[in-house]
Structure 1
């Protein structure tokens, strides 16, 4: 146990001695804050009548999220859009070991490679949770302020809202462990970054959109990692586009997300982590 704790401390030091974690945190805050604030102003304005909906929208903002559904939708931007950041952090923290050959002294200090990978996963789980808090500070801090300015109840006294916050932090932590698994599975840092950005920003949104048209494919699409994450959190902006008609329960979404992390990490462990390093 003492060896594992020391390993976790070592992994923590590896992350904190680089700039990538706080740069990603700053970009995440700005990105989510801009999206949450902008959408809160748009839908809050429609709800309050300050902004006239487009033709066909009808008075009172028909087609926009209702007042009770709007705050969770805005707050969920922290995970439904921001999940790419913990994935990148986990992938960069792992692929950096291969790129800079820091695995050699690490394995010399602790030859139990499984324990090293486990400590890295635990450490990045914590950093993923931290990014979840940062994302919520942006989506809630800015989103709730804007909603309140338009007379929309931000629901901050609602227990369901705080449960959503907790599930959001859990989802972001799990995404970081998926990033670790991906980094082990694809040791090339450039390739990992390309895969993360291409899949999260292009491939999966298109797959979720395509799957939503037919009930059979919708039942398959709900097991995609992004859909599982949205199910875990309990809210997502994808509901506006009608891409979340078939969803898992929150605990099922969490198990699916955990399953992706475990599979990627285990496969990566046997394909690349156990190889000789120089």
Structure 2
């Protein structure tokens, strides 16, 4: 089977199941509600209509508030493409649908390449949904308080492009995790534990432990934030140097490196083993 045929097969398997659109729906609700609520608070504070309460946002221009709010598409939304990438593989191991796939396509590298291409497509879809969910409510909140939505700025649109790249890379990272860790429950637990607990704690600790901050800049979430250029974590004080540690393009290369290493490890450690 050719790469084109393998990719068509992966498209069919992915988009005929409910997993991808359920995660997409949750992403829209989660990012949209977060961007609307946070955007309202930040815009109200920056415009002086709400007490600063020590946030340092009073008098901040609309472009900065817009960047923080719009970047929620990545800083909060990244976990969803990460999960769908993981499920693309682990669901097949769990239901043993890879068996007929490998019988039809003995060259397993072709199958994995097809999955990577579909992961890129899924990442792009999730990126569009995340951006719409963050930008729509966020721009509305800025407009209500008379702040610049920054939608006419080329820098804002460049950030949108970097967000899309970040979410596509996160999907491939998830694919690598799923390829390496066959058990679906274990893979999901690892993904959630690392992204929601281990890395955030490490990044907070980096603010207090000498030398640790230089290391945490290269964790996947920090690299993603650097790539995007804005992050709510920097605003809330958990990692004030989130974009100062490494350049955006270095962050992109680091995140891409994680995706590549996980795929290579998964291919040689797990992917070539017997399915059952």
CA contact (8 A) 1:11 1:123 kept: yes
Q: TM-score, normalised by structure 2?
A: 0.95
The aligned residue for residue 51 of structure 2 is: 52
1-structure distance, mates of 2:67, 2:188: 30
The aligned residue for residue 120 of structure 1 is: 115
The aligned residue for residue 156 of structure 2 is: 161
- Structure 1 outlier segments of 4+, above 6 Å: none
Q: 1:20 to 1:219 in 2, by over 3 A?
A: same
The aligned residue for residue 38 of structure 2 is: 39
Match of 1:66 among 48, 60, 67: 60
1:243 aligns with 2:224: no
| 3-state secondary structure, aligned to 1:173 | helix
1-structure distance, mates of 2:238, 2:81: 26
Gaps of 5+ in 1: none
The aligned runs of 1:204-215 (5 Å cut-off) are 204-214=199-209
2-structure distance, mates of 1:176, 1:133: 14
**Cα shift at 1:51:** 1.7
Q: TM-score, normalised by structure 1?
A: 0.94
Match of 1:181 among 176, 190, 197: 176
**Cα shift at 1:271:** 1.4
The aligned runs of 1:12-23 (5 Å cut-off) are 12-23=11-22
Q: 1:64 to 1:103 in 2, by over 3 A?
A: farther
CA contact (8 A) 1:212 1:221 kept: no
Count of residues in Structure 1 that have an aligned counterpart in Structure 2: 272
1-structure distance, mates of 2:198, 2:187: 15
2-structure distance, mates of 1:63, 1:164: 21
1-structure distance, mates of 2:91, 2:240: 36
**Cα shift at 1:73:** 0.5
**Cα shift at 1:96:** 0.8
The aligned residue for residue 85 of structure 1 is: 80
For the aligned residues, what is the CA RMSD?
A: 1.5
The aligned residue for residue 214 of structure 2 is: 219
| 3-state secondary structure, aligned to 1:256 | helix
